[in-house]
Every structure is written in structure tokens, then in C-alpha cells.
């Protein structure tokens, strides 16, 4: 039988121990591995592997010795409790061995869990599970996690008091990160909020979310975009002493002002435009960028982008002008433009 959507998500969290087996397949190996890990722990418990109630079989080994899976489901464990025979990286080359184990399975045998890569609808392995009356097949696709999946991840991390704004940021973050990275970020947030009874806020999410821009460079961009020209010189000196290169500043500034331009030109307003930025921005930084986009406006931002393109071309040309000075003058002109 085939499971999809919410039914599949619920089965991963609470699998049925009386089932013969489960096939999990998909192109993203990380997503498949996370689901496989979740369902096996739900079946045999966190101590199951230590108590030797989990038999691991590599797909290549099963191809060489087809009886391995049948032997694994029939063997009697030393410790009492449910058992799982897990086949990793299976392909259609092992379909016959898996089908034999499915046919020979009886109540009390170890449940069969098989993971595979992307399988077509005509796959022999996939058909074996989808056509079995007591086994399931679940495809894992690259769709972003559902709200229910996100809530389940948060619940497992013991994060329950979450503001609506923070939940919006978490949903956005889940669509920008790989599943494993998102789970690690949630665990980081849980540690950040340890013994903190206040609701989770967008600022908390922003504090723990992966950052794509160095803090020092981000400070410069904020100074420029907000027209705080007198503050630019000292910060530029500090960045230069830290070894930040002019080209790095040019790339970061171009990225920042392109994001502001996209936000300012969004038909639904800067708030909607900021929400579309990838990678996403959160908390105070998101609010700051939204204010910047509103203050600059689309046409003035186009002028800023032209200025940055000219500075970038100068940096990459054969000009003998001091590169950091070229970049600083370009940023100063932008800071002055922001004040008009």
C-alpha cells in the first residue's frame, strides 16, 4: 500500500508494529535517512540497536547474498522486544530477495524497513511494497515540510510557546534550509531558550538562524543604506584592518541593494518582497531591510545599483586606484544619496 501526505507523516511518528514492512524512497538521501531513523526509533525504541534488535544490511551485501534479509527477519533476538531488519540503499537488483522476505514474513518476525533512492512507478521494488496488503511504500520528495511536520519537529525539541511571527519565520527558514540543517537550527533554538519561559520571538529565531553575511560587513551595509555617512569611515578602517577585501564588500553591497530593489519593486509592497528573499532574513534585520526599502524606493535603488556596478568594474579593471578607497567612495556616495 502507498502512503502520502499527512498519513505518511503520522505513520513515521507512530508506525504500526504489526505491519510486514516499509519502503522509504526518494532522491534526497538526507530526507530519506531522517525519516528512516525516525521510524526505526519509533518501532524499537532508542535502546533497540544497543539491545541488538536492529539488523543492518547493506544493499550491496544483499545483492551478493539474497538470503541475508530472510535470515534477519527470522532470527530470534537475545533481548525481548520488537525487531527491525533494515536494508539500506536498495535497488531493483535486490527486489527478488525483498519479495521473498515479504512473502515469508509471519507475525513475530522482525519488521522490514528498506530505503532506496529515486524509484519510478514501474520499479519492481516499489511495486512489491505498494502491492502488498500488509506493507507500506512512502515516497520522500523535495517539497518543503508541511506545517504539521514543522510543528512535530518543534514539539520534539520541546519548543511549545511560539509567537505567530516566530512561527512564520520558522516556516520560511524550513523552506530555505536542508532538512538536517533545519532540525539542527531548531535544536540550537531549543538550547538558546533553555529554562526561558517567555514565548519564542522573531529575534530569538534570528539569533540562531544561519547567517550568510559576516556581521562586520552587515554593519557597513546598514550604515550606508540608512544614510549614516559620518559613521562609515571608522567602520571601513576596522574592516580593512581585519583583512576584508574591497571585492568582498562590493559583492555584499550588490547583493544587499538588489534585495532592497526587489523588495521595493514588489507589487504587494516591501514587506512581501522581503519575505521572498532567499536566503531569508529574520527578526530585527528583516524589519530594518524593510524600512530601508521603503525609504529608498525603487528608482533611487536603481541609481544605487548603477553606482555599485561602476565601482565593481573599476575594482576588476587595470586601474591603479587604491581599491579600498574606490569602494569607500562608492559607499559614501550611496550614504549621501540615502539622505536626499
Q: How many Å apart are CA 329 and CA 126, to the nearest integer?
A: 62
What pLDDT shows up at residue 211? 57
Cell numbers 541593494 correspond to 257
What's the per-residue H, E or C state across 169-205? HHHHHHHHCCHHHHHHHHHHHHHHCCCCCCCECHHHH
Backbone angles phi, psi at 333, to 5 degrees: -60, -40
What mean pLDDT is predicted for residues 325-334? 91
pTM for the model: 0.56
The dihedral through the CA atoms of 186, 191, 195, 199 has a sign that is negative
Lowest-pLDDT range of 27-36, 218-227, 270-279, 291-300: 270-279
Task: Enter the C-alpha cell of residue 309.
Answer: 556596478
Confidence of residue 23 (pLDDT cuts 50, 70, 90): very high
Q: Exposed, middle or buried, 142 (CB in 10 Å: 0-12/13-18/19+)? A: exposed
Task: Enter the C-alpha cell of residue 26.
Answer: 526518494
Which stretch, 70-79, 131-140, 220-229, 311-320, has highest mean pLDDT? 131-140
Mean pLDDT value across the chain: 87
Q: How many Å apart are CA 256 and CA 292, to the nearest integer?
A: 11
Cis peptide, bond prior to residue 144, ω within 30 of zero: no
Between CA 93 and CA 180, with CA 42 as vertex, the angle to 5 degrees is 75
- Which is higher by pLDDT, 6 or 92? 92
Which stretch, 67-81, 99-113, 135-149, 221-235, has highest mean pLDDT? 99-113
Rounded to the nearest 5 percent, the helix, strand and coil shares of the chain are: 60, 10, 30
How far from chain centre, in Å, is Cα 71?
Answer: 38
Tell whether the model's pLDDT for residue 78 goes beyond 90. Answer: no
Q: Which of 273, 256, 237 is nearest to 334 (CA)?
A: 256
Backbone angles phi, psi at 178, to 5 degrees: -65, 155
Amino acid at each position: 500500500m502507498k502512503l502520502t501526505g499527512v498519513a505518511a507523516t503520522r505513520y513515521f511518528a507512530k508506525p504500526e508494529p504489526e505491519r510486514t514492512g516499509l519502503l522509504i524512497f526518494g532522491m534526497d538521501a538526507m530526507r530519506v535517512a531522517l525519516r528512516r531513523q525516525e521510524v526505526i526509533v519509533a518501532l524499537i525504541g532508542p535502546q533497540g540497536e544497543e539491545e541488538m534488535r536492529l539488523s543492518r544490511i547493506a544493499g550491496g551485501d544483499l545483492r551478493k547474498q539474497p538470503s541475508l534479509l530472510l535470515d534477519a527477519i527470522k532470527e530470534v533476538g537475545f533481548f525481548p522486544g520488537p525487531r527491525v531488519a533494515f536494508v539500506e540503499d536498495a535497488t531493483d537488483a535486490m527486489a527478488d530477495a525483498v519479495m521473498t522476505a515479504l512473502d515469508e514474513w509471519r507475525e513475530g518476525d522482525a519488521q522490514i524497513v528498506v530505503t532506496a533512492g529515486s524509484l519510478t512507478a514501474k520499479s519492481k521494488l516499489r511495486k512489491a511494497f505498494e502491492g502488498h496488503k500488509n506493507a507500506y511504500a512512502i515516497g520522500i520528495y523535495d517539497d518543503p515540510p508541511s506545517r504539521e511536520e514543522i510543528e512535530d519537529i518543534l514539539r520534539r525539541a520541546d519548543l511549545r510557546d511560539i509567537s505567530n511571527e516566530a512561527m512564520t519565520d520558522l516556516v520560511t527558514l524550513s523552506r530555505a534550509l536542508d532538512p538536517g540543517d533545519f532540525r539542527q537550527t531548531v535544536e540550537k533554538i531549543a538550547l538558546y531558550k533553555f529554562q526561558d519561559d517567555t514565548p519564542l520571538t522573531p529575534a530569538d529565531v534570528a539569533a540562531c538562524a544561519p547567517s550568510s553575511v559576516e556581521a562586520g560587513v552587515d554593519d557597513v551595509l546598514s550604515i550606508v543604506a540608512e544614510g549614516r555617512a559620518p559613521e562609515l569611515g571608522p567602520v571601513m578602517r576596522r574592516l580593512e584592518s581585519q583583512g576584508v577585501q574591497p571585492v568582498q564588500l562590493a559583492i555584499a553591497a550588490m547583493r544587499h541593494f538588489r534585495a532592497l530593489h526587489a523588495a521595493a519593486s514588489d507589487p504587494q509592497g516591501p514587506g512581501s518582497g522581503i519575505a521572498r528573499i532567499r536566503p531569508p532574513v529574520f527578526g530585527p534585520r528583516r524589519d530594518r531591510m524593510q524600512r530601508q526599502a521603503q525609504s529608498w524606493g525603487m528608482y533611487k535603488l536603481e541609481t544605487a545599483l548603477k553606482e555599485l556596478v561602476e565601482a565593481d568594474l573599476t575594482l576588476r579593471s587595470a586601474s591603479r586606484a587604491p581599491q579600498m578607497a574606490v569602494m569607500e567612495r562608492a559607499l559614501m556616495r550611496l550614504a549621501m544619496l540615502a539622505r536626499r
